[in-house]
Amino acid sequence: MKFLVSFVTLLLSQQKAIEAFTAPVSLISKPTTTCIFAEGGDQQTRINFKHDLDSPKVATQDKLSRGDKKVYCRCWQSGTFPLCDGQHMKHNEATGDNVGPLIVSIPKAKPEEVVEESKVSAEDDKKIEGRKKRLVMGYKATTFAYFLSIIQVASKTGLTKFAAYFLSSRLLTAGVAYIMSSAAENDRLSSDTYKRLNLAMIGFGVIGLIVQALLPNTRTAMACIAAFLTMVNAVKGYGYGVLGWDKKKEDASIVKDLANYPVSVLKGVFSIPKNMKSFGYLGLTGMVGTMKVIKLVELVQVLKDGTDKVMIATRLSRFASLSFLAMVAYTLKDAADRDRLEGSTFIELNFLAALSLATMSAYVGFNSRLGGFAAFFSGFSAFNGLASIQKKQSKA
């Protein structure tokens, strides 16, 4: 009898051993938060069955201030994920695991540290305020320098049609520089509109200095100063627009922004106009852009044919003027697409473009095809500027 009892007991113990051996196999087929590795440890089951399952990667970014303390979940079971709610304790009891939370704390600042941080903050604010003030003054000085250069040239040559057409680009740059001073005062330099205008000013200033270097007999100090101020302040303005006044904007890169610039402009130019005004500005951009390309071809031909500095300087000057006007036209097209023509910047740009186009039409002749188009777009820009003023006042 004792032998039978021992035999039955042995069979039962063997059955339990078999069940214990096969139990993990059945667990693998069910969702579990336990990491189960095959022999060699190169395969792993999924551990997250609750949070952001549609995302390819669950990444959490958090910020802590002095004196803060946070407890983060590491078991993926928390109902307040990424913060811990104690679910790891139930997980540990059920699985025999020993996971726990990540506890992060930042000590409170000592009184002397608070004072030091306040000093650093005050110094940074003072530095930023100084940069802004100097840039605003620089833009305004650029405007003033161009006005003086216009007066200087006009007093020598008289205000002929050619002189008016030649000086209209300086007037356009003076007006844009004044617009940029307002943008700097109101912290709007990071907008794509003002970054584009700054880049256009950089190009105009650089070419202006080259032109003055090529024409020593007609070079004027005021024209050199104006071109130099244009280049320097536009470079600073563009840099602050990309990097911020403190030059510490996260994920900001001038190289990356410059690389994206032509792509964004081309996309904007070839995008379908969203209204009739945008269609008109697209036509203006196309006309001036075509003239710009023609002038570039002429410049290349002059460079190939010889070293006539006067011809090179003339072509360079017109190329710079047309490039600037083309960017203004594109900026207005972009504003029309966004229904933003009532903004002060775009009202002023409309009137500046109208004036430049009017001098172009007067110089080439109203009866010519180019003169007729220039006159039409001059009226188009002036009308939109006046309509925007009226619309803006009606909303006030």
- The residues annotated as belonging to the active site are 57
d(C-alpha 146, C-alpha 230), whole Å? 9
Q: What is the distance in angstroms between the CA of the first residue and the CA of the last residue of the chain?
A: 107
Question: What is the length of the chain?
Answer: 396
Report yes or no: 188 and 171 within 8 Å, Cβ to Cβ: no
Give every CB contact of residue 216 below 8 A, 6+ residues apart in sequence.
Answer: none
d(C-alpha 24, C-alpha 44), whole Å? 14
Query: What is the Cα 314 distance to its own chain's centre?
Result: 34
Report yes or no: 136 and 185 within 8 Å, Cβ to Cβ: yes
Share in percent of the chain as helix, strand, coil (round to 5)? 70, 5, 25
What SS3 class is residue 104? strand
Over its C-alpha atoms, the chain yields an Rg (Å, rounded) of 35
Residue 102, classified by CB atoms within 10 Å of its CB into exposed (0-12), middle (13-18) or buried (19+), is: exposed
- DSSP-derived letter for residue 339 is T
d(C-alpha 45, C-alpha 72), whole Å? 22
d(C-alpha 88, C-alpha 47), whole Å? 13
Report yes or no: 141 and 165 within 8 Å, Cβ to Cβ: no
> Cβ–Cβ contacts within 10 Å for residue 37, how many?
10
Please report, as a single letter, which amino acid is at residue 362: A
Give the residue among 174, 318, 316, 154 at the shortest CA–CA distance from 220. Answer: 154
Report yes or no: 227 and 205 within 8 Å, Cβ to Cβ: yes
Cis, bond preceding 31 (omega within 30 deg of 0) = no
d(C-alpha 308, C-alpha 272), whole Å? 43
